[in-house]
Amino acid sequence: TAKEVSEAKGGRVQLSGLSKEYGGFRAVDHVTIDIAAGEFVTVLGPSGSGKTTVLMMIAGLVEPSAGAITIGGRDVTHLRPQHRNLGVVFQSYALFPHLTAAENIAFPLRMRRRGEAEIRQKVEDVLDLVRLPNVAQRLPGQLSGGQQQRVALARALVFDPPVLLLDEPLSALDKKLRENMQFEIRELHRNLGVTVINVTHDQTEALVMSDRVIIMQDGRVVQSGSPSELYERPKSNFVADFLGTSNFLKGELELQEAQRPDGWSLVTAGGLRCRVPESARGSKGRACLMLRPERIMLNSAAEMEERFEGRVAEIAYTGNIIRYRVALNDQEIVEVTLQNKPGHVPQASIGSQVTIGWNLEDVHIFVESTTD
C-alpha cells in the first residue's frame, strides 16, 4: 500500500555561511538558511543569482568554498552525493533511456541492494503515489513530458528520502500541466512529510507551492518568508519588483513645515506629491514609493486617503483582470488592475480623465539614501 511510502519523515536542513567561489567570482555568498523538517522551501531568484549552486552544494555535486551543511543534524558537507540519502529531480538527472519506467524507479533500490519482492512492492506503491498507473513497462521515449516528470519524481521518492531536492522540475512542461503538477507535488509533500527544497525562477510556481520562499540576488539571500509575507511586505525594491507587479514612484522624501508632524511626502521628479505612511516619516533623502496595481482605485476613489487626477494612457484586457495605465501629471505612469467581475463595466477609455486613489496603508516606501 501507499501507507508504507508515506511513513517517510522530513529531515531538517541547515546551511551555515555557505559560499562558493569560481576563480575570484562569488556565485554564492554566505548563505545561511535553516529549513525545518517537513518544510517546503523554494529558492527563487533571477538567472545567475546562485540558486542552482546552492542546491548542487546540498546535493553534494558542488564542493563549497566555505560553510557547512547538515541534514537531520548530521554534517554532510564533505560526504559524497550517494551517501547523503537525498531524493533529487534535476534537469541533469535525466531518466535512463534504455530502462523502463519501472526499472528507472527501481534503480535507487537496486543501488541499495534491496530484495526483489520489496522492490516490486515499492515501485508499485510509488507509481500509485505519483498517479502513474499502466505505463510501468514503457521506455521514457514512449512517455509524455508530464509522465516522464512523474517517473523522475517517483525515482526520487521510492527510497523514502527525508529530503527531496527539485531543480526547475516543471520548466519543460506546458502551462496547464505545470499548474496541475504544482498542486500535485504540494499534495504529495503534505502526505509524505518529506522536506522539499525547490529551485525556480518562476515566481508563480514559488508562491503556489511553498511554505516559505527564499529570494536570492547576486549570491545572497535578500529576503525569506511565507508567500504572503513576501508579497505584502517586501523589504526592498528588488523583492517587490521580482514578486508580482509593482508601481514605483521615485523621488525625494520631504517634510512640509506647514503640516508637521505628519507632513512627510515623497515628491517625484514630475512634481507629484504623495503622502507616505508612518514608517517612512522622519527620514529625508531619495526614496521609492511602491504600490501594487490591485490596491489602486479607479474612478471610485472618493473614500481613499490619497487621490490624483490622471489620464488613461493604455488599457489591456487580459481575461480575469483589466489593466489600466494611467498617466499622472503627464509624467508618472501607474498601472491599475481591476478584476473582471460580474457586472464589471469598463470605467474609462483611452485618453479619458480619471481619478485614482489609494490608502496610505497600501503605500510601501523604500528609502534609498538618507540625507541629514
Q: Is 48 in the site for ligand ATP (CB under 6 A)?
A: yes
Secondary-structure breakdown of the chain: helix, strand, coil percentages, each rounded to the nearest 5? 30, 35, 35
Of residues 13 and 188, the one with the C-beta less far from ligand ATP: 13
Tell me: does residue 52 bind ligand ATP (CB under 6 A): yes
Q: How far is the CB of 45 from ligand ATP (least distance, A)?
A: 5
The residue among 106 and 214 lying less far from ligand ATP, judged by its C-beta, is 214
Contacts of 258 (CB under 8 A, 6+ apart): none
Strands 195-200, 163-167: parallel, antiparallel or unpaired by DSSP? parallel
Minimum CB separation of residue 185 from ligand ATP in Å reads 19
> Near ligand ATP by CB under 6 A, which window of 50-58, 127-135, 325-333, 364-372?
50-58
Site for ligand ATP contains 228 (CB under 6 A):
no
- How many CA atoms, within 13 angstroms, populate the side-chain half-sphere of residue 86? 30
Mark 2-39 as b/e (b = at least 16 C-beta within 10 Å): eeebbebebbbbbbeebbbeeeeebbbbebebebeebb
Work out whether 357 is an interface residue with ligand ATP (CB under 6 A): no
d(CA 280, CA 234): 15
Nearest distance from C-beta of residue 200 to ligand ATP, angstroms: 8
Residues sharing a CB contact under 8 Å with residue 19, sequence separation 6 or more, in sequence order = 26, 28, 29, 30, 31, 64, 65, 66, 67, 219
**Residue 258 burial (CB count, 10 A):** 6
C-alpha 361: how far from chain center: 25
CA distance 259 to 23: 56
Distance of alpha carbon 86 from alpha carbon 1, whole angstroms = 23
**Residue 178 binding ligand ATP, by CB under 6 A:** no
Contact pattern for ligand ATP over residues 22 through 41, marking x by CB under 6 A: x----x--------------
Q: Is residue 92 near ligand ATP by the rule CB under 6 A?
A: no
Q: Is 198 in the site for ligand ATP (CB under 6 A)?
A: no
Q: Does 53 bind ligand ATP (CB under 6 A)?
A: yes
- Interface residue with ligand ATP among 10, 45, 161, 310 (CB under 6 A) is 45
Confirm or reject binding of residue 49 to ligand ATP (CB under 6 A).
Answer: yes
Asked if 11 interacts with ligand ATP (CB under 6 A), we say no
Stretch that binds ligand ATP, among 42-50, 238-246, 272-280, 357-365 (CB under 6 A): 42-50
Query: Site residues (CB under 6 A) for ligand ATP?
Result: 22, 27, 45, 47-53, 201
